[in-house]
Structure 1
């Protein structure tokens, strides 16, 4: 350990003091007048002290949580409601797009729902009529006023009407699902913030055409930051999660306390370094 040589040196100096004080010889015939007093010497208690190893390494500070907000539908940028440096809250509108394809799809899906709903109403009316006719013929058959063949014809009409009504309801349910999906897709033209934080980058301008997956804004969450450092392989055994460290930010007047959160156990074959991640909490970064 680094403190051991210093501790030994201090002990040796302390041990030599009484030897130096007792090594002077007396002149013959001179009487001693008691214990010799040594002046100008300060006595201190020697203690062992751990001197920490100091390592300076350069790293990059990043937000612990960040989000690259991307377009989910093709369209044209019509409005940008946040700029670099702006603080935004979760759910806040950031960018609006104009997407003719999404708008047309949503409108068509709504029309399909209206049409399917009318089909259900018509099928319900036919089923009601067929059921009433079937009941009337059932009574007539009991009175022997109609033949069995005529009654079975009305029975078949009733069964067909019931099946048509079920199919109409299924078409309506499908149309509603398509409309819901189309409405969701159309809602993607309003791009909102997934978290509260600061806008750090903007990738689009008004009038630009965007495609699905194209980044429009980058947002970093405030309060929690992470420093990533490439540490030399020689200290791999000394660095562990939970170890406290001091971090000096660029332009800062005083260091900031941090704690190692993760040690990546993979050494780069070229630089012979490994990544150490340090959680830092500092205001005003």
Structure 2
């Protein structure tokens, strides 16, 4: 009976002793706290740098031409010739498109004949009026006949003026059959071919001036309101891998109610590699932030951890850091683990 009681009791005591041994009850204890740092280590500490760093935001943008135009016809007529193709350079006044003129030329001839007929009748009426005036002075013609001659003359003057205006109208319409370039530039595309019928308002050619390319972007209102005309900015062209200096030319003084953004137009220098419609990024100032920096030689790497030793009341304390990018040669941004004013010690020698 005694053995049955002692066996479990001994086992329980043995188990308690094993747990106490594993917990370090029988091992000498080290007092908590940090060991004082030697004087040379304190002198070698560096204060964490807090720098006010400007922030920037990249806004999607597009390359646009300030001076661009779509060429269309004022007449309903068949296209007889198109002198340019996409990519061609044009000068002001250069012939671009010719339209059929046969109907208009026929109307021009008719209008010219009407002018000549009215001129002949007017010449006859002028002679009759002079003759009537001479006869009235002699007293052999009634006043009513003179009034009738003057009325006929005035009517023919008006008729001739109307015929001349009709002739001028037809000649103006004939001039519309020769469509010329209004600007110096480059043809983007052509949307018709000879034989097609041109209708008023229908786009036939698209032209832009490469010297007037600029950047247009919709900037959110919190950033756009801080921009001023003439402010220097930076534009990135990802397709070309380049950055261009730019100047704010215009901020449209009304926001888009859908996107709550302002249209911003930015002037850039001429670059032959740029084309309308290319994707760009407008780099816009977005305030400042406080950035903590630490030298790379004060950072220890243990696996995937970044460590630093910080002076705390004359003692060394190890901190786990979360680092950002290398913001300067030999300096990293500290996202977490340090505060402004902390003094970082050299990495201890193993």
Q: Please state whether the residue corresponding to 1:129 is helix, strand or coil.
A: helix
Q: Does 1:241 align with 2:232?
A: no
Kindly indicate whether the alpha-carbon contact (under 8 Å) linking 1:74 and 1:99 is maintained by their aligned counterparts in 2: no
User: How many Å apart are 1:132 and its aligned residue?
Assistant: 3.1
Q: Does 1:178 align with 2:180?
A: no
Candidates 46, 63, 66, aligned match of 2:65 = 63
State the partner residue of 1:221: 209
State the partner residue of 1:266: 255
State the partner residue of 2:112: 110
User: How many Å apart are 1:55 and its aligned residue?
Assistant: 1.6
Q: Please state whether the residue corresponding to 2:211 is helix, strand or coil.
A: coil
Unaligned runs of 5+ in 2: 1-36, 275-350
User: How many Å apart are 1:107 and its aligned residue?
Assistant: 2.5
Q: Please state whether the residue corresponding to 1:255 is helix, strand or coil.
A: strand
State the partner residue of 2:179: 191
CA distance 1:272–1:116, change in 2 (3 Å): same
Candidates 75, 78, 81, aligned match of 1:79 = 81
TM-score (norm 2): 0.60
User: How many Å apart are 1:65 and its aligned residue?
Assistant: 0.9
State the partner residue of 1:88: 90
| Structure 1 CA distance for aligned equivalents of residues 141 and 201 of structure 2 | 61
Q: Please state whether the residue corresponding to 1:54 is helix, strand or coil.
A: strand
Alignment map for 1:1-285 (pairs within 5 Å) = 51-135=53-137, 137-138=138-139, 151-153=140-142, 155-264=143-252, 265-269=254-258, 271-284=259-272, 285=274
Kindly indicate whether the alpha-carbon contact (under 8 Å) linking 1:75 and 1:100 is maintained by their aligned counterparts in 2: no
Q: Please state whether the residue corresponding to 2:56 is helix, strand or coil.
A: coil
CA RMSD of aligned residues (A): 2.8
Kindly indicate whether the alpha-carbon contact (under 8 Å) linking 1:73 and 1:99 is maintained by their aligned counterparts in 2: no
User: How many Å apart are 1:259 and its aligned residue?
Assistant: 1.2
Kindly indicate whether the alpha-carbon contact (under 8 Å) linking 1:256 and 1:282 is maintained by their aligned counterparts in 2: no
Give the count of matched residue pairs.
233
TM-score (norm 1): 0.72
The CA deviation string for residues 115-136 of structure 1, in whole angstroms up to 9 with x for no partner, is 111111111222233233333x
| Structure 2 CA distance for aligned equivalents of residues 119 and 58 of structure 1 | 71
Kindly indicate whether the alpha-carbon contact (under 8 Å) linking 2:132 and 2:141 is maintained by their aligned counterparts in 1: no
| Structure 2 CA distance for aligned equivalents of residues 246 and 279 of structure 1 | 10
User: How many Å apart are 1:73 and its aligned residue?
Assistant: 0.6
Q: Structure 1 residue runs of 4+, over 6 Å off?
A: 38-42
Kindly indicate whether the alpha-carbon contact (under 8 Å) linking 2:135 and 2:141 is maintained by their aligned counterparts in 1: no
User: How many Å apart are 1:258 and its aligned residue?
Assistant: 1.0
**Larger radius of gyration between Structure 1 and Structure 2:** 2
CA distance 1:250–1:188, change in 2 (3 Å): farther
Q: Please state whether the residue corresponding to 2:219 is helix, strand or coil.
A: strand
| Structure 1 CA distance for aligned equivalents of residues 115 and 51 of structure 2 | 80
| Structure 1 CA distance for aligned equivalents of residues 125 and 221 of structure 2 | 77
User: How many Å apart are 1:251 and its aligned residue?
Assistant: 3.5
CA distance 1:123–1:152, change in 2 (3 Å): closer
Q: Please state whether the residue corresponding to 1:223 is helix, strand or coil.
A: helix
| Structure 2 CA distance for aligned equivalents of residues 213 and 267 of structure 1 | 28
